[in-house]
Chains A and B, each alone.
Chain A
């Protein structure tokens, strides 16, 4: 015999619903009443593998160690305090992330500000910032926005970044190295400031040099390095001695500039398509050289994968004799493989007929004009930079990974450390993808974000197109972007 299903009449249903809502409200009120506004910092992670530290006092410095995934630190406090959204990129040198986080939380505690601090990997940072801007809810401060500064501030009608001239003034504008100011100055005002730069240097493994009877200091020009790589290859036929990334990624584009600039390659001299200089004999020569190195078996086919970690890993596993990279791989060696660090020498990038050129990866902090807390955001930036001793300690904690933006800090480091002394010497040769314009350029930000110059490698090495066609194709694409962006 089947039982009649129990019916719930509408009135009871509504009563139960209202009762549930009332219970939740009473519970929430009780929770608030029992929890006076004590400063607590809670750490939530997006992925269980991320390691974090939680603290419960306002003055204690909290560190959050992140790998490549997102982390959010929230300081929950009393009513009426300003609350700031802060978004930081996590770098490959955790000590630098930790310093920035600690400095920010220290500032928040001193100023009585609540902060929600999120971190994102270098791949996630730009989409996160852009999405925030588009939805009208950007963070108050972001780190890792160097490649977006022109997009977000070049056009006065769509200027989303707050000018930082007062920040520069407070921290000593004259002390900031010229290229940093030039990269971010629009209509006479700077709109971003690099926390530091990742400046490319050669990571040479000494034991390979010793093995082939070469002294590291003798390696100066590209010819020297290529000859050295050939000698290593002779002794280790299965090895790929040059750790060049060739994939569509940041490091792939850096590989291009490392060869192209010293040969005389230039991108553009003005913001118009006719000023794009890419279709040049220097471009053909640089590409042909890299194709030859690949075909000779001096660069691994694995390097065609678009991944920034590949050259780092090639160095860390000693499957390449040298790489050229901002010294985060060296940082990894110092902290995880001291034997490799001891077997490494950091050298200035190889030169060619036009001299030495060094790629400087922009690692900028910005404040957003839409923010309700622009003044606090600027105050935070001043706090981060103003104490030069603290800044110096941060730079030191990066084991050469972070290149300081202050002349005074550079001078101090050069006096105490011969490695820094040589490293500081490359300062006038630091450029980015806008060379020789060296100014904010929204069109070039797009060229960079699309990794267009790395297409040269895939066209010639995967699609087997000839060098001339590849250079022409990429040059046309760059011209199209500049034309679309600036209308000329």
Chain B
């Protein structure tokens, strides 16, 4: 069918606002970040072109590599735990039992709590003297732990992330589980498949696309998470929890150098692209 000019103009008129919005909200800031990363730009000062100096300085900074390592460790352990526990809870809550709706509703609560509030809750939960975690530990085993101290801070922040993130996995898995035909399980049982076989060959293939998308989203969110860790540990003790977003924050607001902060942000883009590519590749398979 031949496209009339009027139709084309109308189409353009309708799509232009959305295009402009995307340009200014997504594309322009992204390009600007890349541009400014080649400058030394202190807050309130003129930008001075410095070529690759910011990138070279970052490449020489051992803290950057540590931040990358700790971000990757934090993200991978958190996502794997959320995947396992989210799936376990979803399977549990997909069973018929009395009060299932209430339990499902309660289980979603952590996901609905704002990050700032979660951080505040756990700040006190982990407090050495007053925290509930140590009160329980002391009552059961007669010991107390410095939860946010050097030895336990990484498991503690992972715990908080997993606690907050499980419902997202669970809800998505619950939905996906409803789509797996019951007849498959019945047929498998008749054929003598045990519980593991049913899980491995029916449940997992049945929900694998949802699993991949949920893992992709969670990986991106967890890798870029700032609020909870900043509030709980501010990257410490020392630099133990100095994840990439905190590294960027300190470049901007302690070194006062937007150019450096932008350069670190640019360097994280390939990591995100790699993650997305892996997931998309898996989805195509």
Contact = CB atoms under 8 A, between A and B. Distances in A.
A458 B256 contact: no
A317 B256 contact: no
A10 interface: yes
A66 to B, nearest CB: 14
A450 B254 CA distance: 5
A458 B253 CA distance: 21
Interface in B107-150: 116, 127-130, 146, 148-150
Interface SS of chain A? helix
A160 interface: yes
B43 interface: yes
Range, interface on chain A: 35 or more
Interface string A423-458: 000000000000000000000011001110001011
A67 to B, nearest CB: 10
A313 to B, nearest CB: 8
A126 B234 CA distance: 15
A305 interface: yes
B234 A304 contact: no
Contacts of B46: 157-158
A134 B116 contact: no
B236 interface: yes
A152 B44 contact: yes
Interface SS of chain B? loop
Interface in A1-42: 10
A390 B258 CA distance: 41
Interface stretch (B94-102, B167-175, B237-245, B263-271): B237-245
Given A47-B116, A152-B44, A462 B150 contact: yes
A368 to B, nearest CB: 10
A304 B237 CA distance: 5
Contact of A319 (B129, B255, B256): B129
Given A130-B256, A302-B149, A446-B255, A158 B235 contact: no
B238 A305 contact: no
Nearest to B144: A238
A306 B150 contact: no
Contacts of B239: 458
B148 A134 contact: no
Contacts of A155: 45
Interface string A155-194: 1011010000000000000000000000000000000000
A249 B234 contact: yes
Contacts of B54: none
A355 to B, nearest CB: 32
Q: Which of A305, A313, A449 has the most CB of B within 10 A?
A: A305
A120 to B, nearest CB: 13
Contacts of A237: none
B148 A302 contact: yes
5 contacts: A10-B10, A151-B256, A302-B149, A314-B129, A446-B255
Interface of A: 10, 47, 69, 126-127, 130, 133-134, 151-152, 155, 157-158, 160, 247-249, 300-302, 304-307, 313-314, 317, 319, 445-446, 449-451, 455, 457-459, 462-463
Shortest beta-carbon contacts, A-B, top 8: A458-B238, A304-B237, A306-B236, A449-B254, A306-B234, A130-B43, A450-B254, A462-B238
Given A155-B45, A463-B238, 7 more contacts: A151-B42, A248-B238, A302-B127, A302-B146, A306-B237, A450-B255, A462-B150
